[in-house]
Structure 1
Amino acid sequence: MLLPTVLILIIFAYVPMGGLIMAFENYKPITGMLHSKWVGLEHFRFMFTYPDSKQVIINTLVIACMKFVSNLIVPFVIALLLNEVRNRKFKRSVQTLIYMPYFISWVILGAILTDMLSSDGLVNKMLMDWFHMSPVLFMGNGTIYRFTLVFSDTWQTFGYNTIIYLAALAGVNPNLYEAAEVDGATRWKQTLHITIPSIMPTAIVVATLALGGILNAGFDQIFNTYNPLVYAKGDIIDTFVYRMGILGGQFSFGTAMGLFKSFVGMLLIITSYWMAKKFAKYSIF
């Protein structure tokens, strides 16, 4: 039963690793990997001196950190609010509504977002008609574009992430709440001294595990929404590698950038699992 899965893993995860040799040579499709000129760390040196590379790394870290914080806080708060809802039908309806966007592809969401936030889109028309404001360049101003990315990514994923905290809340001992009520604790006091401390270990695990993928700033989302006007603030490592390596034909340089990202990601994963084991007593082994 495991054989198909193992074969797929080997074919699509391990065999392509042989292509990493392109990062250390001046790869030419005509000569192939085995006969291309070996250049060692030349592409990595160029990567750290090339101005666009530095800006792309900064963009990746800024966007990823903003998403990291937002995707931790928003689901945590929403889970606490839903936990206080007593009407089960209303609670389930809200859960379903906020959960649905997670299943919509960014190919579709990107097109919807671009149309709604364009200079003559629905959002700008509302701003002009209701507040008499000038059109806002959501998709043309780099700084605004970053916040648009964070907001839309949080909107798509917070419903799914909320499930983790709701599952943790379901495991809180109800006797604690009963004892708190006897002592005269209000709902706010119960939330502050029982609910939040009870799910804090789960929040720590989620945060530390998310740290390992912090350099994945969202290729699908950015690729389907960005344009040359926001390259300076919205271009990340993955989109940069796609343009330089695939479209630009600089396969060795693109491979070097991808390998650098993978190496840093590996260090972050090791660090995050160490933190999860130390602070939340979580371990997969």
Structure 2
Amino acid sequence: MTDSNTTNFAHPSIFILLGISGLEAAHVWISIPLCTMYVIALLGNFTILFIMKRESSLHRPMYYFLCMLAITDLFLPTTILPKTLSIFWFDSREIYFSACLTQMYLIYCFTVVESGIFVAMAFDRYVAICYPLRHSSILTNHLVAKIGLVVVLRGGVLALPYPILASQWPYCRTNIIPHSYCKNIAVVSLACANIHASNYYSLSVKLFVTGLDLFFIAVSYSQILRAIFSLHIKDARLKTFGTCSSHLCAILAFYIPDLFSSIMNRFDHNVPPYIFILISNVYIVVPSMLHPIIYGMRTKQIRNRLFWLFTQKRT
């Protein structure tokens, strides 16, 4: 394995991923919870998709969006975990330059796609609660397909400048990435060039995409809450709000680690670097693990179907 940290090329053929720098001795121990969460994420999301396919009563817009979320939650951690675990278990630190850029693209593509799915799900809840009699006529299968296509295209297009910009910089100092995967800032900070374009674009996506998505979600839920509090029966208010609880929990699981990581990166410079790397891994894996658990516990139709599957196997 190439372990020199000084190179004389503009575009290295390989990068060297250090893993969690500063915690190399604990790599095997760190891999245990990461691998466990990854396996739970895979099993949980495959189970959600299996139930959606088998249960015809779930073939509705809300559950179509949930299928999109489950597919995204399968791909997002898969972009980093196999390579990260190979570093921890087999000391396989090398990654080709093109593979690194591909990983970078996929990470940001699926992250933006997932954020867009949450906006679509918030819109679905808004229509279902504020216009219940027109829900099926407004959110037709054709419209759901269009929304899904726009969400995917938005993620694909907005993620494209990350690898394009990263590929433009000369990497003449080092090819060692002090991270467990090819995160944009970890890669471009190695360049011996002015990388303001990469930094400005990354910040713009964070502010405008995440900010706008959260704004649209907040607007949807302000209207939802307004409709809920206009109900005169307390039980009706609780039941209506309960239909949104799983979506709200999933939103919190997705956005809170990201916001926490962004705040720490920008304002607390005394935190050891390995803390940021651990948070970056947690941000990718934990939401993908929690989402199927949240929807499995909070959605009656999915919960009943799961119970039926387990009882059928026992009998």
TM-score (norm 1): 0.28
TM-score (norm 2): 0.26
